[in-house]
Structure 1
Amino acid sequence: MLEEFDDSTDESTHPPRRTRRRMGRGRRILVSVLALVLLVVVGIGGYGWFLSSKVDRNLAHENLLGEARDQKTSSQGEKLVDDAGDNYLLIGSDARPGDGGRADVIQLVHVDEAKDNIWIIHFPRDLYVPIPGHGEDKINAAYAYGKSPLLVQTIQDLVGVKIDHVAQTDFEGFQELTDALGGVTVDNAQASPKYPAGATELDGDTALEYVRERKTLEEGDISRGQRQQAWLKGIMSKTLTPGVLLNPSKLNQVIDAGTEHTVVDNDLTSGTIRREAIGLRSARGEDIHFITAPFSGYGTTSEGASIDILDEQGMDELSDALRTDDLEGYDDSSG
């Protein structure tokens, strides 16, 4: 039943809110996203070579692609495009002790062929989609049914492109990363009982509380997504300052915190990491863009579970943009 995949920290119904599809509406931002940004930084210079090697030593490797690694066509028999940029699936968990395996965070990172832009596409965990071999269900149920390989196959079916690599992380790394930076400042757009609007200082514990908060916010998960993007902007801004980049000890701590809780697929080797980092050496914060996978509204299943309804036409447009490596055109047209 769908309910067994619900996050116990969320309510079963959505508060009234407006559907958004453009940049800045991701629900939770992975520590792994920042790890990708850090790879851009450490790909430069001799010390960068040392740090990129350290990243590889910290990362654990598992068979996260499974049979999807060799998949050339979708479940519908359509060819998966594999030569229009690179695609990384980032999976995160906010699980507490005793929780079962869930994919609370699902982000597809698309690096364009020119290595000029990074697009982070958030798939809401309640998005109701076809899951190979299991009919329609919430997208995070794919992970519960078949772990990372089935989630990879599900998303490949949706977007029509090959996923090259997978990374998994958890929120413990999120806390440690914030503390490694000595805390961050976020621009809080919406006040809540504990956090006033405007510039807000966060350490690891308060940052975790800040990005988990939902019930007191005007638009529930949408507002929480804005907070999590505000955290990402704060963390990136702090990371790219001379006080971090020119301080070997500090940068070393940040690299450790951003990678020690991350597991990657067996094919994501140190050589692959270094090549990507060197290719992205000119990318900066303004070259990272956010999109939410298209959905048309909210509903419930026959069992009463709350779902996000897939916008099939919008997903076709997103698929076209990925398959032609033109997400800039998609974002401009998505209003």
Structure 2
Amino acid sequence: MTDRDFDLLDLDREPPEDDPADEAPARPHRRRRRVLLVLGTLVLVVLVGVGGFIGYLGWRVDSNVTQAELLPTVPPPSTAPDGTPIQVPTSGNGTNFLVVGADSRGKNDRGRADVIVLVHVPADPTTIQMIHFPRDLFVDIPGHGKNKINASYAFGGEPLLVETIQNLVGIKIDHVARTDFNGFKDMTDAVGGVRVYAEEGNDASGNGGAAIRKGWNDLDGTQALAFVRERYELSQGDISRGRRQLAFVKALLLKATSKETVTNPLAVARFADAATKNLVVDKGLSIGTMKDYALALRGIRGSDVVFATAPFTGFGTDPNAGSIDIVDTKGMKLLGEALRKDQMDGYLDVFQTP
């Protein structure tokens, strides 16, 4: 770079005395105009780059997300199989999202609803409550009698699962989102791995062949997938796996909202792509609505997300369903009341998962 090139960036520098251009009185003004032109061009390039990145990100998310009929399209029955009246409110305080993680093992396999989480966003969203429903909860499934809650997904997909939970808890589910376990893997890799606390360890013979030690574990996508799938080596089977899944979700939230991630445009783009490329949502949940919720929740951090397990009293067996988790009827009623009234704090004092 020459001295004349530096002149473009130094507004206060006087031109050399032997420069013939000194005699031209308009020279300083022309130089300032050139400086402004360069700076303006740089600003324009930055704005176009940022705008292009945001535009690309929006296009990518929009093209990734699939909308489908995930909510019931017919009115639910007014009574349970045993004749008990069912009262599902048409609305409530806050918004209830049902998030389903399907573990599909083949191209034409719907998969099993191995992650069933009810996400409650209060009307004043300073916190988010996530309620995990163990897949072995023994419940009434409309049109199919009593079975594990996971069976409702096998029988009728998300609409029947929604209807089953609405009847069980006495709430209105507003939106549904489904991803598959590969989405967990890809999101983990997109943020460079996660650090997760394991209440129990397991050797490498389980799902995916990843050995997990009790305590903190740094996991890549493949290891995280094995972490959330494992249950056979855990003390309480599906219940323990559910706690692992909640621990993983919290770790992923913390990493995705960390300064390390949000200040890295490439990491943001990779995470947004990974989070949405396997995402299916109900037809009422538009991209614009999703953006509005994201904006409303922009101040939420990992510590503001509270976890609980849907209440159950213990374990049992059923001749048809096999091993089951027995529903805590009283606790489920309290959960429904807390969700409907947007008063989860009192409920979580009793039922919160650490």
TM range (shorter): 0.7 to 0.9
Query: 5 Å matches for 1:238-257?
Result: 238-257=255-274
Contact 1:293 1:315 survives alignment (8 Å): yes
2:77 and 2:322 map into 1 onto residues whose CA distance is 34
Distance 1:285 1:100, change over 3 A: closer
Per-residue CA deviations over 1:16-72 (Å, capped at 9, x if unaligned) read xxxxxxxxxxxxxxxxxxxxxxxxxxxxx977787456433321111111415x669
Aligned pair 1:153/2:163, yes or no? yes
Aligned to 2:290: 273
Distance 1:100 1:253, change over 3 A: closer
Per-residue CA deviations over 1:150-173 (Å, capped at 9, x if unaligned) read 111111111222111111111111
Matched position secondary structure for 1:286: helix
Deviates more, 1:77-86 or 1:316-325: 77-86
Aligned to 1:309: 326
CA drift at 1:273: 1.0
Aligned to 1:86: 95
CA drift at 1:305: 1.1
CA drift at 1:195: 2.4
Aligned pair 1:217/2:234, yes or no? yes
* RCO higher in structure (CA 8 A, sep ≥6): 1
* Structure 1 gap ranges (5+): 1-44
Aligned pair 1:163/2:173, yes or no? yes
Contact 1:81 1:162 survives alignment (8 Å): yes
Q: Identify the match of residue 142 of structure 1 among 152, 155, 161.
A: 152
Distance 1:198 1:106, change over 3 A: closer
Aligned pair 1:186/2:192, yes or no? no
Question: Identity of paired residues, percent?
Answer: 47
Normalising by the residue count of structure 1, what TM-score does the alignment of the two structures yield? Answer: 0.79
* Structure 2 gap ranges (5+): 1-49, 204-210
Aligned pair 1:67/2:73, yes or no? yes
Distance 1:306 1:241, change over 3 A: same
Aligned to 2:254: 237
Matched position secondary structure for 1:316: helix
Distance 1:192 1:66, change over 3 A: closer
What amino acid sits opposite 2:87 in the alignment? E
2:320 and 2:72 map into 1 onto residues whose CA distance is 32
CA drift at 1:81: 4.5
1:285 and 1:74 map into 2 onto residues whose CA distance is 39
What amino acid sits opposite 1:183 in the alignment? G
What amino acid sits opposite 2:70 in the alignment? L
Matched position secondary structure for 2:155: helix
2:55 and 2:94 map into 1 onto residues whose CA distance is 24
CA drift at 1:234: 2.4
Aligned pair 1:290/2:323, yes or no? no
Aligned to 1:199: 216
Matched position secondary structure for 1:78: coil
Contact 1:84 1:113 survives alignment (8 Å): yes
Contact 2:148 2:321 survives alignment (8 Å): no
Matched position secondary structure for 2:254: helix
1:290 and 1:167 map into 2 onto residues whose CA distance is 18
What amino acid sits opposite 1:123 in the alignment? F
Distance 1:120 1:213, change over 3 A: same
Aligned to 1:26: none
1:250 and 1:150 map into 2 onto residues whose CA distance is 36
Normalising by the residue count of structure 2, what TM-score does the alignment of the two structures yield? Answer: 0.75
CA drift at 1:237: 2.2
Q: Identify the match of residue 277 of structure 2 among 231, 237, 260.
A: 260
Contact 1:156 1:163 survives alignment (8 Å): yes
Query: 5 Å matches for 1:21-100?
Result: 51=57, 54-67=60-73, 76=85, 78-97=87-106
Matched position secondary structure for 1:195: coil
CA drift at 1:79: 4.6
Deviates more, 1:285-294 or 1:295-304: 295-304
Aligned to 1:333: 350
2:217 and 2:88 map into 1 onto residues whose CA distance is 47
Structure 1 or 2, whichever has the larger Rg, is 2
Contact 1:73 1:80 survives alignment (8 Å): no
CA drift at 1:131: 1.3
Q: Identify the match of residue 113 of structure 1 among 95, 116, 123.
A: 123
CA drift at 1:178: 1.1
What amino acid sits opposite 1:281 in the alignment? R
Deviates more, 1:52-61 or 1:244-253: 52-61
